[in-house]
Amino acid sequence: MKHGRYPFILSFLALPVGLYAWLVILPFAQAFQISLTDWSGSTNTFNYIGFDNYANLFKDDRLVIPALQHTGIILVVLPVVTIALGLFFAFMLNLGGRSRQGRIEGVRGSRFHKIVFFFPQVLSVAIIGILWKQVYAPENFGGLITGALTAVGLPAPANGFLADKRFVLAAVIGVLVWSAVGFYLVFFSSAMASIPRDLYEAGIIDGAGRFQMFFKITLPLLWDSVQTAWIYLSIVALDVFVLVYMMTPERGGPDAASEVVGGVIWKYAFNDGEQAFASAIGVVLFFAALTLAVVSLRFGPRERIEY
């Protein structure tokens, strides 16, 4: 029976592994191959030029350098703000109610609040981009935020937030946080539901406040979930071009003020006809995301707490 088990398992694994290799691994391998050539994308001929595309990667200070800077900012700000807000809202909805007879409870209507926060997850990125492009629009085009600021006598950008180099990147990050925080609220809420309430009740008896209970009980027991959220949000930060494409002028403007690495890949591949150079940037982005995930998994775990 044992000898017949492995062929049986392999028969089930062969198809999904084969599809994964064909649809995921092979395209990455082809992208790496293309990055070693001078292929423009418009012809069937190309010459191998070695690592010249990688050597020239950082020489374009017009797009590549600003894109790396902006992607780095998003990579830091998005996970920190989204996880902080997700943990805060999840803790308040699940454990922020009044304590009754030594028992800690969630707020009333917590399920309704979770649905409201989760709502952006049902919208596509294109719809979110179009929606918030209108919200950030100038007042004379019906911009909600600029109109509200003007109504209360506060200054607002004359051409809207997305056309102002000072605010466009912050505006994009704000939309990213808005669209993601609901999912991680539900994600952390599910993780909190597995924490025994006896731990919180014991903390109340010992005189612990909610601040202490969060940092001494909730956060240590949710650390694996926080680590997972960090990895996923980091990947989202590296793959933010669709939202930038939909919202910003010049698809990364104005004057490259919201340019990201994904946008540089798109522009070199389809605007400038430099498929090989775009592939080189894509390969670097892939290894950056892979390295980030490996480092987070390798150095992030803490000693598992049993309860």
Q: List, as one string, the DSSP characters of 205-241.
A: HTT--HHHHIIIIIHHHTHHHHHHHHHHHHHHHHT-H
Q: Could you read off the pLDDT of 158-167 as tens digits, one per residue?
A: 788 888 888 8
Q: Which of 66-80, 98-112, 190-204 has the highest mean pLDDT?
A: 66-80
Quick check: 81 pLDDT over 90? yes
* pLDDT score recorded for residue 173: 93
* pLDDT score recorded for residue 61: 67
Closest CA to 297 of 239, 222, 231, 236: 231
Closest CA to 196 of 221, 228, 232: 221
* pLDDT score recorded for residue 23: 85
Quick check: 100 pLDDT over 60? no
Quick check: 304 pLDDT over 70? no
Cα–Cα distance between 12 and 299 in angstroms, integer? 34
Q: Find tokens 């150079």 and name the residue.
A: 277
Cα–Cα distance between 137 and 115 in angstroms, integer? 28
Q: Could you read off the pLDDT of 128-139 as tens digits, one per residue?
A: 988 998 888 887
Average pLDDT score over residue span 214-239: 85
Give 305's pLDDT tier (boundaries 50, 70, 90). low
Whole-model pTM over 0.85 = no
CATH architecture of 61-299: Orthogonal Bundle (1.10)
Q: Could you read off the pLDDT of 197-214 as tens digits, one per residue?
A: 777 777 777 776 777 778
Quick check: 83 pLDDT over 90? yes
Cα–Cα distance between 105 and 95 in angstroms, integer? 5
∠273-279-281 over CA atoms, to 5°?
Answer: 105
Quick check: 147 pLDDT over 50? yes
